[in-house]
């Protein structure tokens, strides 16, 4: 492997850079909507329930539209799918910015339109296009670069948004975001799928329906889908409810912000490390370890006395494990089924992630309202860590017979 060129051609390099920028822009905007809530509440009269519903719709819209954009990317080219998604994303921000943006229109803008926009721009589709340009030996490394650059957006965006909201107000900040997304739309033109001559795999005549049937009859694919549900549950539970949980435990307001910033920073390290290790070792074992270690990190955070030190340890440890599941999960999908329908098949796996995200956000709030604490939500998250660590072990990391004989 050491003698093999990492970048096969200029198109692969251009696509890798452009896809990384697309994910950086998409996730940077998506990450900070929670910071707008007080302004939406004061100026638009948006309640907690309305805001929570919009975010829930956004997560489901993100997941449901992902396989559709994946199918478009697989058939017509990655750049066309991503550009179309950016149009929805920009429209969502535009209506939030200029109106109508209250009542049902708020749900359509922040929930439906932006959710659809994320489905084609945030991680899954750009990364699946990158995966088509790289062979098995270094595919996960290339995918981890895309994830890591997007993670840098997680780190920077809250800092910039906090500054802009104070200096410019929420309306001007949304306008800046809209310009940012237009830049992303232009960059998306360069996220190109390889043509038949550039493809790293031999062409096959398999149809979309045949690919779907083949995937869902494969036990390993079903186990991956189940495991990624847990990933979504963890991430959204932590991202949505840790700030209030930290304050409820008597920690300062800035501690919650520090945890999220540390998660964003260490996520960069975790994504790159996961991609590198996945190119050298069993991806399913790496995934099992990640989910098990998430459970350990949660246990240390909730069962030890609250302090700044434990918060720092949690932010750093959970950050390393945050999106480190993505390169290994997508790498297994590509390894088993090939890359022809990678956008669609990984999009369906990511749909499971977003369904888990919905339940992580919803059940965290529900348990808090029912029992006055998040304890039962954390217990469920820890149990799911063990579940995910176990179910990845039976996965067979080998290409299907048709790939071996093509």
Q: What is the pLDDT of residues 189-247, one digit of tens each?
A: 999 988 765 555 556 677 888 889 999 999 999 999 999 999 999 998 888 788 778 88
Q: What percentage of the chain carries pLDDT values higher than 70?
A: 95
| Predicted local confidence at residue 402, as pLDDT | 63
| Predicted local confidence at residue 20, as pLDDT | 94
**pLDDT over 90 (residue 31):** no
**CA distance linking residue 96 with residue 102, whole number of Å:** 9
Instruction: Pick the range with the lowest mean pLDDT from 108-117, 168-177, 369-378.
Output: 369-378
Count helices and strands (H / E) in the chain: 18, 0
Per DSSP (E only), the strands in 93-246 are none
What DSSP designation does 36 have? G
| Predicted local confidence at residue 74, as pLDDT | 85
* pLDDT tier for residue 133 given thresholds of 50, 70 and 90: confident
The torsion angles phi and psi of 204, rounded to 5 degrees, stand at -135, 165
- Alpha helices, DSSP H, located in 249-337: 253-280, 283-303, 308-320, 325-337
- If 0-12 CB within 10 Å is exposed, 13-18 middle and 19+ buried, where does residue 8 land? middle
Element (H, E) at 90: helix 78-98
What DSSP designation does 194 have? P
- Phi-psi bin for 99: left (phi > 0), alpha (psi -120 to 50), beta? left
Q: Give the pLDDT mean for 130-134.
A: 87
Q: Give the pLDDT mean for 98-125.
A: 92
**pLDDT over 60 (residue 188):** yes
| Predicted local confidence at residue 1, as pLDDT | 40
**Terminal C-alpha separation, the chain:** 22
Q: Return the closest-CA partner of residue 194 out of 236, 134, 147, 137.
A: 134
| Predicted local confidence at residue 196, as pLDDT | 60
| Angstrom distances, CA of residue 16 to CA of 6, 23, 220 | 11, 11, 28
Q: Return the closest-CA partner of residue 300 out of 323, 279, 317.
A: 317
Neighbours of 182 (CB within 10 A): 15
**CA distance linking residue 175 with residue 164, whole number of Å:** 11
DSSP assignments along 34-89, one per residue: GGGHHHHHHHH---HHHHHHHHHHHHHHHHHHHHHHHHHHHHH-HHHHHHHHHHHH
**CA distance linking residue 13 with residue 378, whole number of Å:** 42
100: preceding bond cis by omega (within 30 degrees): yes
Neighbours of 375 (CB within 10 A): 13
**CA distance linking residue 236 with residue 384, whole number of Å:** 14
- 3-state DSSP call for residue 339? coil
CATH top-level class of 11-405: mainly alpha
As a residue count, the chain comes to: 406
Neighbours of 179 (CB within 10 A): 11
**pLDDT over 70 (residue 406):** no
Helix axes 325-337, 208-216, angle to 10 degrees: 110
Q: What is the pLDDT of residues 293-345, one digit of tens each?
A: 999 999 999 999 999 999 999 999 999 999 899 888 988 998 888 878 888 89
Q: What is the pLDDT of residues 156-187, one digit of tens each?
A: 887 788 889 889 999 999 999 999 999 999 99
């Amino acid at each position: 492997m050491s003698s093999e060129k990492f970048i096969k051609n200029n198109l692969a390099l251009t696509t890798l850079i452009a896809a990384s920028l697309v994910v950086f822009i998409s996730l940077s905007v998506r990450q900070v909507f929670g910071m707008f809530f007080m302004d939406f509440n004061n100026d638009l009269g948006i309640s907690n329930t309305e805001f929570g519903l919009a975010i829930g719709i956004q997560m489901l819209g993100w997941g449901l539209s992902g396989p559709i954009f994946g199918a478009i990317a697989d058939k017509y080219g990655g750049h066309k799918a991503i550009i179309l998604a950016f149009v929805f994303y920009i429209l969502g921000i535009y209506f939030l910015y200029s109106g109508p943006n209250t009542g049902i229109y708020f749900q359509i803008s922040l929930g439906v339109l932006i959710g659809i926009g994320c489905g084609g721009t945030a991680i899954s589709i750009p990364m699946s296009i990158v995966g088509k340009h790289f062979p098995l030996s270094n595919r996960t490394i290339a995918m981890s670069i895309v994830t890591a650059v997007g993670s840098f957006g997680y780190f920077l965006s809250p800092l910039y948004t906090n500054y802009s909201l104070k200096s410019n107000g929420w309306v001007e900040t949304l306008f800046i975001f809209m310009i940012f997304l237009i830049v992303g739309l232009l960059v998306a033109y360069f996220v190109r799928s390889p043509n038949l001559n550039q493809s790293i795999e031999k062409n096959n005549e398999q149809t979309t329906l045949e690919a779907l049937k083949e995937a869902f009859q494969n036990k390993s694919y079903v186990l991956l889908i189940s495991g990624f549900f847990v990933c979504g549950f963890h991430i959204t539970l932590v991202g949505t409810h840790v700030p209030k949980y930290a304050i409820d435990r008597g920690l300062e307001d800035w501690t919650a912000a520090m945890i999220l910033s540390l998660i964003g920073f260490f996520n960069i390290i975790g994504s790159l490390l996961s991609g590198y290790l996945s190119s050298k070792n069993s991806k399913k074992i790496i995934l099992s370890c990640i989910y098990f270690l998430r459970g350990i990190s949660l246990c240390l955070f909730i069962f030890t006395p609250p302090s700044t030190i434990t918060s720092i340890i949690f932010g750093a440890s959970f950050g390393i494990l945050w999106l480190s599941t993505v390169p290994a999960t997508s790498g297994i999908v590509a390894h088993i089924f090939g890359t022809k329908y990678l956008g669609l098949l990984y999009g369906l796996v990511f749909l499971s992630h977003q369904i888990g995200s919905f339940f992580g956000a919803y059940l965290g709030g529900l348990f808090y309202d029912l029992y006055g604490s998040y304890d039962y939500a954390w217990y469920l998250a820890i149990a799911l860590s063990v579940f995910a660590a176990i179910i990845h072990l039976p996965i067979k990391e080998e290409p299907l017979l048709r790939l071996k004989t093509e």
